[in-house]
Amino acid sequence: MKAQFAPLFENVTLNSGVTLKNRIVLAPMTHISSNEDGTVSDEELEYYVRRSGGAGMVITACAYVTPNGKGYARQFSVDDDSFIPGLKRLATRIQEKGAKAILQIFHGGRLSPASEVPNGEPVSASAIASERKGAVVPRALEEEEIIDIIKGFGEATRRAIVAGFDGVEIHGANGYLVQQFFSPHSNQREDRWGGSVEKRLSFPLAVVDEINKVVAEHAKEPFVVGYRFSPEEPETPGITMAETFVLVDALADKGLDYLHLSVNEFWSVSRRGTDDSRSRIEIVQERVGDKVAVIGVGGINTADDAVKALTANIPLIAIGRAFIVEPDWVEKIQAGKEEEIVTTLTKDDQERLVIPDPLWKMIVHSPGWFPVVQEADKQ
């Protein structure tokens, strides 16, 4: 390994006491490849195994915590004890490759397709549709339902512990339910769950508190709890960086292991809510990095990209699409063969890359999402 890449392979110890073997994280990515009954499929098991040998931590695609939280077809579930055996297989297979296994848990809220939830009725903080194309108006959750979903996050965490995962990540990003409660666009409630920015924090913090309580009661070994968030929203009104500062300050005081930004480009800057011209990741790191580890992500494809990202002083770097295109990303850097990292794929690469059929179809039929090239142009 070349000396300039050595910092990528330093150990990182999180607040819980869990130590990661390096700074590289396999980012959570939707693969729509679970069995139709919500169990873990053999295809997705092999997909994870192929990509778990190098990263210090592997974060799975999101599992839904209650039946009305399912976000898309062919998604796996953690809403019942019957799913524990399949989840145990997933955790074990990842860990056997040397990575810590983190189960991402979520509720789709108003972004859940009507066809995938009970009574064809998506729910949210308020009866306000997303601005995404084809969005439907959700039903506003009642008080008792809110409490049940919070408990659902706790029960999902208990199942993750029983299944042998090393931790859970709360999916509070990308417009899903946890973010919907924090957002002034989707949450226009006038009770204890909405109104001021502090009241809109009530649901996310209640989820964190419930999970921390379950971990204290059930985990016999140190157990990781992370939180992923989108620092801004495009909607008006929408989450601004100023409001995100309130969020991360509150989360940093909860004893979490990490905060994981969800941005498309690592060095992207704020749209509104701050005059700071630095990247959003740098701002968050400076603000709370002394209390909680920060994970940066977005457009990191090469070893040089990763080393540059470390100049933001963050301890952890998540890599997504590059791991799909190059499953041996980490191993090639360790072996001093970083110039052999593949950055494009062809339509003949599915079997070699161990990519499940549903994900592969999405890749090849979504122009611009992945760098798909002709064989002669491959690099």
Q: What DSSP assignment string belongs to 54-96?
A: S-SEEEEEEEESSGGG--STT--B-SSGGGHHHHHHHHHHHHH
* pLDDT value of residue 374: 78
* pLDDT value of residue 342: 95
Active-site residue among 47, 64, 176, 258? 176
What are the Cα distances from residue 260, in Å, to 66, 170, 180, 318? 23, 10, 17, 9
Assess whether 176 carries a catalytic annotation. Answer: yes
pTM of the model: 0.97
State the residue for tokens 């301890």.
315
What mean pLDDT is reported for the chain? 97
Distance CA 193, CA 143 (A): 9
Domain spans of the chain, in order of start: 3-343
Residue 231 has pLDDT above 70, yes or no: yes
| Mean pLDDT score, 302-329 | 97
pLDDT tens digits, one per residue of 52-74: 999 999 999 999 999 999 999 99
Q: What DSSP assignment string belongs to 120-187?
A: G--EESSS---SSTT--PPEEPPHHHHHHHHHHHHHHHHHHHHHT-SEEEEEE-TT-HHHHHH-TTT-
State the residue for tokens 């008792």.
144
CATH 3.40.50.2300 is right for the domain spanning 3-343:
no
Residue 377 has pLDDT above 80, yes or no: no
For 39-53, b/e burial (b = at least 16 CB within 10 A) is ebbebbbebbbbbbb
Run of H or E including 318: strand 316-319
What are the Cα distances from residue 336, in Å, to 2, 21, 308? 6, 18, 18
